[in-house]
Each structure stands twice: as structure tokens, then as C-alpha cells.
């Protein structure tokens, strides 16, 4: 299985601004969709809630990103999002994607998830 990290990073190596992406470009969002469509995506809970779809947006549409399998890493035992898998570690998330037959897995943040991944 291929494991790819996707990061939107500015010239100062910043990956977020005020709880969101450093910028919003439709071409970047389109490329993200093209790359990740049909694949598993690993994100941290805060990233899932604030960057990927937004907590309010998720609550209003009631589903994760269409066409993708979301695996959310969190230490919070009570966290649950309908239509998403929950993992307690990067290893557990990767194992879950592998067990489900994923060919290419995308890790999409946030900072703590990237750090855990690169430490492996």
C-alpha cells in the first residue's frame, strides 16, 4: 500500500491559519479531490472538524467527504462521526485501511498527525 502525505504549506512552512487552510484556491481543492477520490483519508479530529469539512458543515450535511473513506484519529474515547472510522493511533488507522484493501492511503493532517507519521 502506498502512503501519501498531502500538505498545503506556505513559504514559512505554516500549514494552517486561524483554524483553516493557509489559503483557499479552487485549483488546490480540485486537485485534492482528484487525488483522494475513491481512497481512504486519515486526519486528526480537529482537522476533520475545522479544515476538511468544518464541524457545522459536517453536522448540516451529515456525512464525510463524498467518495472517500474517512479515518479520524482521536484520543477522545467518545468521539464518533457517522460514516467515518475512528482510530486511536496512526498505526491503527493504517492497519484499518490495509485490512479494507486500500491501495493508496492519504494522510491529510493536522500537524500532530503529520509528526506522528514522520516519526515512524
pLDDT in tens, 3-30: 999 998 889 888 877 777 788 888 988 9
Distances (CA, A) of 93 to 25, 29, 70, 105, 118: 29, 24, 10, 10, 15
Give the Cα separation of 21 and 93 in Å (integer).
Answer: 23
Q: Which domain holds residue 55?
A: 2-118
Instruction: Please write the tens of the pLDDT for every residue from 63-111.
Output: 578 899 999 999 988 888 878 999 999 999 999 999 999 999 999 988 8
| Per-residue model confidence (pLDDT) at position 68 | 92
C-alpha grid cell, residue 21 = 487552510
Number of domains in the chain: 1
In this structure, what CATH number is given to the domain that contains residue 108?
3.40.430.10
Instruction: Please write the tens of the pLDDT for every residue from 40-73.
Output: 999 998 888 765 455 555 555 455 788 999 999 9
Amino acid at each position: 500500500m502506498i502512503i501519501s502525505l498531502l500538505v498545503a504549506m506556505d513559504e514559512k512552512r505554516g500549514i494552517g491559519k486561524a483554524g483553516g487552510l493557509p489559503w483557499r484556491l479552487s485549483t488546490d481543492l480540485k486537485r485534492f479531490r482528484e487525488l483522494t477520490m475513491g481512497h481512504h483519508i486519515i486526519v486528526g479530529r480537529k482537522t476533520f472538524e475545522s479544515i476538511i469539512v468544518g464541524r457545522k458543515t459536517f453536522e448540516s450535511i451529515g456525512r464525510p467527504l463524498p467518495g472517500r473513506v474517512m479515518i479520524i484519529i482521536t484520543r477522545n474515547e467518545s468521539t464518533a462521526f457517522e460514516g467515518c472510522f475512528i482510530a486511536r493511533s496512526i498505526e491503527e488507522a493504517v492497519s484499518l485501511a490495509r485490512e479494507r484493501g486500500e491501495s493508496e492511503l492519504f494522510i491529510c493532517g493536522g500537524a500532530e498527525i503529520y509528526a506522528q507519521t514522520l516519526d515512524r
